[in-house]
Structure 1
């Protein structure tokens, strides 16, 4: 089953597999790379050191530690975009974001991260 989950304030698409009362979560490699970049960007906000050389395992452990020490969950930094969209583009972005239960800014960041991974990957 395809499903979207919120890990440390970041929405990730995954596949849920249930076999013999065991739940397994499978996240595509591209989404894992995006999650890693997100954690590198967000963890310093929560007092955790993260760098491009950190492994996903290290980053997830830091994120779990950060959430254990705070009241609530981590969240993506809010960004004020320095430019305006055409009204029809903005409406499409907001509609697409609402369908995925995330903010328009989060969706835009996700799109940019995926394109970056595609070009640089």
Structure 2
């Protein structure tokens, strides 16, 4: 069963599998890479030291620690993009973002991250 889960303020597409009464959550590798990039970007804002060499496991441990310290949930920083879109493009972006329960900026960041992973990865 495909399902979108929120991990540390970041929505990740995942798949829930139940085998012999045991629930497993699987996250595709490209989504794990996107989550990793998100955590690298966000954790310093919560006072955690990270670098490109920090593993996903370490990032998740730091994120859990940050959320326990906050007694709440981390959130993706809101960015004001320094450029304007054509009105019809902006409407499509806002509509697509709303369908995914994201802000338009968050959707743009995800699109850019996925394209970056395709090119660099």
Asked whether the two chains share a fold, i.e. TM above 0.5, the reply is yes
Distance across 2 between alignment mates of 1:68 and 1:20: 32
- The 5 A counterparts of 1:14-33 are 14-33=14-33
Q: 1:42 maps to what in 2?
A: 42
Residue segments in structure 1 that go unaligned for 5+ positions in a row: none
Q: 1:98 maps to what in 2?
A: 98
4+ runs deviating over 6 angstroms = none
Distance across 1 between alignment mates of 2:19 and 2:100: 27
- The 5 A counterparts of 1:72-83 are 72-83=72-83
Cα shift at 1:99: 0.8
Query: What TM-score does the superposition give when structure 2 sets the normalisation length?
Result: 0.97
Query: What TM-score does the superposition give when structure 1 sets the normalisation length?
Result: 0.97
Pairs aligned (count): 121
Distance across 1 between alignment mates of 2:93 and 2:31: 20
Residue segments in structure 2 that go unaligned for 5+ positions in a row: none
**Deviation per residue, 1:13-69 (Å, 9 max, x gap):** 011111232211110100100100100000000000111000000000000000000
Distance across 1 between alignment mates of 2:72 and 2:91: 31
Q: 2:116 maps to what in 1?
A: 116
Distance across 2 between alignment mates of 1:36 and 1:114: 12
